Structure 1
Amino acid sequence: MTVKQLRAFLAVAQNLSFAQACERLHLSQPALSLAIKNLEESLGGQLLTRTTRSVRLTPEGETLLPIARCLLADWDNAEELLLQHFNLQVGKVAVAAMPSFASNRLPAALRAFRDAYPRVNVAVHDVINERVMEMVRDRRVELGVVFEPATLDGLQFTPLYNDRFVAVVPASGALADKGELSWTDLLTQPFITLQRPSAVRLLLEESIAARYGKLPVAFESHQLATVGRMVAEGLGVSAVPRLCQRQMEELGARCLPLSESYVERRVGLLQLAGFQLSSAAQAMGDVLIAQALAFSDGSG
């Protein structure tokens, strides 16, 4: 059976008229008759009896009628649902993002996405860099936002922007009056940072070890918000990606540029290499790219 044959049968069965069925389906009478004939041949028996004055269903035609209604309704519903997904009238997308991005830049992107596609559900996983990579590989999420991995191993990385670390100091301390700081100035103070295996912590350690030695860690936490509050309370200093600057300042700390030995890393989108994104995930990626351009231009 084909969908075309079932539509032809249903139109005749509901109208009990070939002429009315032709008008409804916009088919010629020979084309309609051929569709019915092919359906009967494929099923092995007559479904309709036709005279010059009337059309009637055979017992087998009566049996097929409710089945045809159900099959065609399911077909039409499936077609409509997929059209809605492709047109982003409905759908869902899952995104994983490292905490420094999830708590700072992602909310604005989600607002722009929701404004454009209000009926698409978004699931956000706020997890460490390495976990983002695992979730993309396991296909638990379609998109991830991470610092650029050292090795991709089946993943595809699309750069969004370079993010340079800034110093975080108490707003009321002597360091806050400076226009910028050197790493030498910063590392003379008790250092507050994220716990391993945070990508921010690992990047800091790797970047300054050769020139400045071991980080003078006095306090460490799993949450950026806790790091910011501890700095604001005068317990020490820190260094975070610039995308976290607004969050640190809202927590009461002061952020300053670092004048030497820049620590920076590319932030970007992660997906499975060679894997076709859903329409919803593609749209989310486009929103994140647009937001990153605004951020790089200084307007984000």
Structure 2
Amino acid sequence: MNITVKQLRAFVAVANTQSFTEACAVVHLSQPALSVAIKNLEEGLGGPLFSRTTRTLSLTPEGEAFYPTAQRLLADLDEAYEEMHNRFSLFRGKVAIASMPSFASNQLPIALRNFRDKYPHINMTVHDVIAEDVVDMVRDGRVEVGVSFDPGNTEDLLFNPLFDDRFIAVLPKGHPLAQYKAIKWQHLLESDFIILQRPSSIRLLVEAMLEEEGLSLTPQFETHQLATIGRMVATGLGVSVVPSLCLGQMTELGAVCCALESPIITRPVGVITRRRYPLSAAAKGLVDVLLTTY
């Protein structure tokens, strides 16, 4: 049989008040409707839950045994309802975001502050991973939201652009090219070059764009982290290129940043989500904040 919430609430109300009349006011039912609910519950369970006389109403032994179970079921239901209401209202919940390091360490904190100001009770987890891992984490469902470069045409992912990021030159202080506001690629490539290792999407993009211009890249140093590039450049080991997202970080590390042209390399940065999976209320709120912040 299927026990309904209406039947459980009717039973507990009658058991608490020991009066059908008072129970009607508690559960907002007419006396005939309350009587039908109790009757259907008793028929479904297989016997009477109340002992009725002209003057008294009390629980049968079976009713006494069922009473704590009914209370617990209603309490669990009310707790689940409140939990879901709080989540949909963004009074409670959690959300995880994956972001490439250049965005996570520079622009993301602004959006997270805006999100916290708007939804102070939502817990957030930030995964600071390389651009390729951002895409994989969203695709595998390990996070609901990612921020990275445009992954291209994919059937399973959605990409909402935030802005176009332009690549810039990174030079040690005192380098002959550091005096210019804009540097041509062919001049930058004359110096010892530091770049991310393959299969970095930044490395692959740079190589593809240079090949189109008839230029070739022969790095003297390769590394996995943009922060390491900044430190290596600052100590005079060579020059490099990074997304302009990293400008503040490179400057803090002691490097000099200049515009880069011939060719100008840009790449869209945006929010990545799964196409066929609805976002939780918390994740949707985070995406809305990201789209309005940048």
TM-score normalized with structure 1 length:
0.92
Q: Does the aligned pair in 1 maintain the 2:186–2:215 contact within 8 Å?
A: no
Q: 2:139 & 2:80 partners in 1: Cα distance?
A: 29
Q: 2:55 & 2:217 partners in 1: Cα distance?
A: 96
Q: Does the aligned pair in 1 maintain the 2:166–2:244 contact within 8 Å?
A: yes
Other structure's SS at 2:263 match: coil
Q: How does 1:84-95 map to 2 (within 5 A)?
A: 84-95=86-97
Q: Which position in structure 2 is the counterpart of 1:298?
A: none
Q: Does the aligned pair in 2 maintain the 1:156–1:272 contact within 8 Å?
A: yes
Q: Residues 49 and 71 of structure 1: is their aligned pair in 2 closer, same or farther, counting only changes over 3 Å?
A: same
Q: Which position in structure 2 is the counterpart of 1:290?
A: 292
Show CA shifts across 1:84-123 (max 9, x none): 1111111111211222222222222222222222222222
Q: Give the partner amino acid of 2:111.
A: A
Other structure's SS at 2:261 match: coil
Q: Give the partner amino acid of 1:283.
A: G
Unpaired runs of at least 5, structure 2: none
Aligned residues: 292
Q: Which position in structure 2 is the counterpart of 1:260?
A: 262
Residue 274 (str. 1) matches residue 240 (str. 2) = no
Residue 70 (str. 1) matches residue 85 (str. 2) = no
Q: CA deviation at 1:174?
A: 2.5
Q: CA deviation at 1:197?
A: 1.7
Q: How does 1:52-131 map to 2 (within 5 A)?
A: 52-131=54-133
Q: CA deviation at 1:268?
A: 1.3
Q: Does the aligned pair in 2 maintain the 1:192–1:217 contact within 8 Å?
A: yes
Q: Does the aligned pair in 2 maintain the 1:128–1:199 contact within 8 Å?
A: no
Q: Which position in structure 1 is the counterpart of 2:17?
A: 15
Of residues 181, 184, 206, the one that matches 1:182 is 184
Q: 1:171 & 1:286 partners in 2: Cα distance?
A: 40
Q: Which position in structure 2 is the counterpart of 1:162?
A: 164
Q: CA deviation at 1:10?
A: 0.1
Q: How does 1:127-142 map to 2 (within 5 A)?
A: 127-142=129-144
Q: Give the partner amino acid of 1:281.
A: A
Q: 2:173 & 2:14 partners in 1: Cα distance?
A: 81
Residue 225 (str. 1) matches residue 234 (str. 2) = no
Other structure's SS at 2:182 match: coil
Q: 2:155 & 2:30 partners in 1: Cα distance?
A: 58
Q: 1:98 & 1:83 partners in 2: Cα distance?
A: 33
Q: 1:118 & 1:156 partners in 2: Cα distance?
A: 27
The percent identity for this pair of structures is: 55
Q: 1:15 & 1:171 partners in 2: Cα distance?
A: 83
Q: Give the partner amino acid of 1:15.
A: T
Q: Does the aligned pair in 1 maintain the 2:193–2:239 contact within 8 Å?
A: yes
Aligned-pair RMSD on alpha carbons?
Answer: 1.5
Q: CA deviation at 1:212?
A: 4.2
Q: 1:211 & 1:171 partners in 2: Cα distance?
A: 28
Q: Give the partner amino acid of 2:286.
A: M
Unpaired runs of at least 5, structure 1: 293-300
TM-score normalized with structure 2 length:
0.94
Q: 1:111 & 1:201 partners in 2: Cα distance?
A: 31
Q: Give the partner amino acid of 1:44.
A: G
Q: CA deviation at 1:282?
A: 0.7
Q: Which position in structure 1 is the counterpart of 2:240?
A: 238
Q: 2:288 & 2:195 partners in 1: Cα distance?
A: 32
More displaced, 22-31 or 237-246?
22-31
